[in-house]
Structure 1
Amino acid sequence: MQFELSDEQRELAEFIRELLSSKSDSASVRATIAHDAPFDAELWSVLCDQIGAASLAIPEEYGGAGYSTFETHIVLEELGYALTPSPYFGSVALAAQAVLASGNAEACARLLPSVADGSRIAALAWADPTGRWSPADVGVSAQETDGVWRLSGETPLVIDGIAADLVLVIAATPRGPALFELTDTGALTKESTPALDPALSFATYRFDASAATLLACEADTPFLDRLRDLALTALTAIQVGAAARGLDMTVAYSLQRAQFGRLIGSYQALKHRMADLHVRLETARTTSRAAAWAAANDSAELGQLASLAKTWCSDSLTAIASETIQLHGGIAITWEHDAHLVFKRAHATAQLFGSPGEQRARVAQSLGLDRTSA
């Protein structure tokens, strides 16, 4: 496995970070949140038109740049560091990969070019009514009548669902779960869902006999397990970026804040705590990139690595966010301080696509170590 970035990948990361430092600083992020906008349209245009970030993991024959999900992972790390409200995760890392995982060449050729150039925002409706993402359990059913598929039901927690104009849906059919493209948007009701992390955008979708096109059936082309692994892996990149942001701001503060006539960063006890956080961050980055490498190289280890990465990155970001609050003192509890955003990002993302406890159980089951399999 290769964890160090190549020169080209390092240049991509540096370019994205430089762009976000000027276009998505704290004031810009807060302005977007304050206006209830799901993302900054101008910044999205720059990311897609000038950098081609949305096209990185889409093959050239479908209008993309022909790189891999590892390059997408790098972009997500930087977006996570900046805490940028962006449809990149929902549209590029999740919905576009759902189309690719379906193996439907016609759908890929028809749908992916507009996602690759950023002109369309895609969303994947998948979570069951309880808010969990399970390959088998979904809250939408599909029935075929006279050759037309129609969807009925409700899906909560659709990531970037409000801004989406391309809607993909995981629905139950008589032959099992399948991926659909919604063709009758008039029969879709969208409702914005308040999120713990105000920089993340969610929606609840309600379908009322909504016409749709079948793209792939799990019974014919198994794709849901890989899709979940890709989602878990992409999410860990965002978590690693946010963890790095929390640690950086904590170290910087320790070199500015004086107590009892000394900078607090000079106290040995605080040095040890920040050193522990650094270890947390670097091990989280390693596990995240290990899963990203497995995803980009179609490794058989992807399932275990994705769950392990989600577990460790969730726990690490939670620990770093908590220490960020503690080591900044009372100012970090206020809404005006960015430590507040890191803390909310930690607790929100820990639950997405399964909590650390659920991921540990999944790994144990895959290894035959869970008690129920005995």
Structure 2
Amino acid sequence: METATDGQREIRRALRDLLDRYARPTPAPEGYDPALWARMSGELGLARLARLALPELALACEETGRALAPSPLLATTVLAAPLVAALGTPAQRAELLPRIAAGELTCALAAPGGSLAHALGLTGDNTTGAWSGDGRAGGVQARPAPGGDGWLLYGEAAQVLDGHSAGLLLVAAHTGGFARSRTLLLLVRTRDAGPGLVRTRHAGLDPTRSPAAVQLRDVPAELLGEDPADPADITRALAAAGRTAAVLLAAEAAGAARGALDGALGHATARERHRLADLHVRVEAARTLTHCAAREPGPGPESGPLALAQALDALRDAAGEAVPPHDADRYGRRATADALLFGPAGRLRARAAERGLLGPTGEAAA
């Protein structure tokens, strides 16, 4: 069972109160309410938690999942900030991380050519170049800018979370031609990118997520980290960020599952409550596994993808029970969208088995 400290309970209480009051669908061009994000990142410090304590951030993600609250938390704090912290030069970290922590700068990770889940090492080995285009056609190509001052990017990436509104893009690009291709991470400051950067927001399956297509036509960029960058460092950092992101996505999914279940229980008859008891056990098991993964030591919790697989399954099942029908649609869309972006659950488990993290029965190895 989850055991929370007084500080964690206070974070949960404050965030739940804030989301219950202000988390609503918004027509804002960002896809989220900037004022709510300012409160979440400033007053509650959520944008800083990724650098401090994973259990607290998991708890916060559980609450944003329960409310299905749209925010830059996933794209900025969960996916991008850890990569800047792990790979950035001292100057880059000093410039960017305080702005991210203050909620002033939002970010997006653009992984072209394949799936974001593969780039993060969740559903495949990201040490191969296939997910980023493998040096062939497609993806994003990087070449040194004339005079050797920075880089120019050419190509496109689809399904970039918050890519239409982020102030900073972290773009995975390959360079060196086919024979010597290597994947780099480069920074694009969208305000200074010029007309070569075209970003188009898509409606998406889940209106609380904001995927975008990002096109780059000789867009100026700078390398994230030292030059020359070690491709092995980049893939290791992406995989570590992926395992951490899996924990936080699992927390969001488990929170959403609990929200759907609470709605179903609120409308259920005594007989229906008895039927929902098994679902309640599965949702609580997903929450427990997620919080256990969040407390694992070391960079990138190894059991994060397994927690995500269980939470996605719990959310899918809970969404099928949610009432009224509008709620069932909302939770169902979140379950399907997350499975497409970061799963599916079966592939997460298969990858865990490839890495020796599952026992012969399919349960997590001791």
Partner residue in 1 for 2:123: none
Q: Indicate the larger mover: 306-315 or 215-224.
A: 215-224
Partner residue in 2 for 1:8: 7
Equivalent of residue 282 in structure 2, options 280, 283, 306 = 280
Partner residue in 1 for 2:292: 290
Are positions 1:116 and 2:105 aligned together? no
Partner residue in 1 for 2:141: 141
Q: Between Structure 1 and Structure 2, how many residues are aligned?
A: 330
Partner residue in 2 for 1:240: 254
Are positions 1:321 and 2:319 aligned together? yes
SS at match of 1:352: helix
- TM-score by structure 2 length? 0.84
Are positions 1:96 and 2:81 aligned together? yes
Are positions 1:227 and 2:233 aligned together? no
Go from structure 1 to structure 2 and tell me whether the alpha carbon gap of 1:218 and 1:133 turns closer, same or farther (over 3 Å shift). Answer: farther
SS at match of 1:340: helix
Equivalent of residue 159 in structure 1, options 153, 158, 161 = 161
- TM-score by structure 1 length? 0.82
What is the identity, as a one-letter code, of the residue corresponding to 1:199? Answer: T
Structure 1 gap ranges (5+):
59-66, 255-263
What is the identity, as a one-letter code, of the residue corresponding to 1:315? Answer: D
Are positions 1:181 and 2:187 aligned together? yes
C-alpha RMSD of matched pairs (Å)? 2.2
Are positions 1:45 and 2:38 aligned together? yes
Residue deviations 1:189-236, cap 9 Å, x none? 101122111111111111112111111435352312112212222211
Go from structure 1 to structure 2 and tell me whether the alpha carbon gap of 1:81 and 1:127 turns closer, same or farther (over 3 Å shift). Answer: farther
Partner residue in 1 for 2:207: 198
Partner residue in 1 for 2:136: none
Go from structure 1 to structure 2 and tell me whether the alpha carbon gap of 1:367 and 1:244 turns closer, same or farther (over 3 Å shift). Answer: same
What is the identity, as a one-letter code, of the residue corresponding to 2:209? Answer: L
Are positions 1:57 and 2:50 aligned together? yes
Query: 2:112, 2:140 within 8 Å by CA — same for their partners in 1?
Result: no
Query: 1:140, 1:172 within 8 Å by CA — same for their partners in 2?
Result: yes
Query: 1:101, 1:226 within 8 Å by CA — same for their partners in 2?
Result: no
What is the identity, as a one-letter code, of the residue corresponding to 1:14? Answer: R
Query: 2:113, 2:157 within 8 Å by CA — same for their partners in 1?
Result: yes
Residue deviations 1:9-48, cap 9 Å, x none? 1111111001111112xxxx23x1x566511122112112
Indicate the structure whose relative CO is greater, using CA pairs within 8 Å and at least 6 residues apart: 2
Q: How many angstroms apart in 1 are the aligned matches of 2:291 and 2:166?
A: 28
Are positions 1:249 and 2:263 aligned together? yes
Q: How many angstroms apart in 2 are the aligned matches of 1:199 and 1:54?
A: 19
Deviation of 1:144 after TM superposition, in Å, equals 2.0
Q: How many angstroms apart in 2 are the aligned matches of 1:229 and 1:292?
A: 10
Q: Residues 301-312 of structure 1: matches in 2 within 5 Å? A: 302-303=301-302, 305-312=303-310
What is the identity, as a one-letter code, of the residue corresponding to 2:315? Answer: L
Structure 2 gap ranges (5+):
120-125, 133-138, 360-366
Deviation of 1:369 after TM superposition, in Å, equals 8.3
What is the identity, as a one-letter code, of the residue corresponding to 1:124? Answer: L
Go from structure 1 to structure 2 and tell me whether the alpha carbon gap of 1:229 and 1:131 turns closer, same or farther (over 3 Å shift). Answer: closer
Deviation of 1:104 after TM superposition, in Å, equals 3.0
